[in-house]
Amino acid sequence: MSRVTPDDVSRIHFAMPPMGHRGYHADEVDAFLELVSATLAGHGALTADDIRHVAFDAPRFGGRGYQADQVDEFLDRVRVELEFRQRGSRPVPAGGNGSGPSALLTPDDVHRTRFTQSAVGRRGYDTEEVDAFMDLVAATLAHGGPGSLTIPDVRAVRFTEARLGTRGYVRDEVDAFLDLVVTALENNHR
């Protein structure tokens, strides 16, 4: 998952919801995105929790705002970005090309990682599958050698959705962490 920058915020465009749906009030979303942009540029103070708990009103009756699922998806990306910044654990530089100094991912980092459970009504990744894979990641980073995960293994992993009625892990968080694992494995092979 790529980083979210202030330029991404200024370029984002949300569709209008389908007829009969009101979506989120466009002015409220736009005002919040200004705060997001300032925070990403280092001039604001929003946190990942602020993103997680933001709520937007529907536009006035007869009005159509922004399509809610598109806004939610973008804000999920922003939240993950802010979580990485708060942890200081993103080893990929802004260019995302793997060059320059980077923090290495350790087995302890993997064991300490906690993913957020998906919201009710959103199916996240199966927690047991992700936890088992995380154990493999930690073992690979600790020992390497035969039987270890490879970069193609990490890129190819596909987790199933959590069973109906259960809450899985937020997909964007897990996917972003897998990007960190790939970067760590690339650094280990240099």
CA atoms of 167 and 112, how far apart (whole Å): 20
CA atoms of 75 and 175, how far apart (whole Å): 15
Residue type, 188: N
Instruction: Please choose, from the candidates 179, 173, 170, the residue with its C-alpha nearest in 3D space to the C-alpha of residue 2.
Output: 179
DSSP 8-state assignment for residue 187 = H
CA atoms of 134 and 128, how far apart (whole Å): 10
Span 146-165, average pLDDT: 86
Residue type, 105: L
Global pTM reads 0.49
Share of the chain above pLDDT 90, in %: 26
Confidence tier at 25 by pLDDT (50, 70, 90): very high
CA neighbours closer than 13 Å in the CB half-sphere of residue 114: 4
Beta carbons within 10 angstroms of residue 77's beta carbon: 18
Task: Write phi, then psi, for 169 (nearest 5 degrees).
Answer: -90, 145
Tell me what pLDDT residue 87 has.
Answer: 65
Give the tens place of pLDDT for each residue, 53-110. 899 999 888 777 999 888 988 888 888 788 777 765 543 333 333 333 334 677 877 8
Q: What is the dihedral of CA 25, 9, 78, 129, to 10 degrees?
A: 100
Instruction: List beta partners, residue 57.
Output: none
The domain limits of the chain are 6-87, 107-188
Tell me what pLDDT residue 132 has.
Answer: 92
Tell me what pLDDT residue 123 has.
Answer: 84
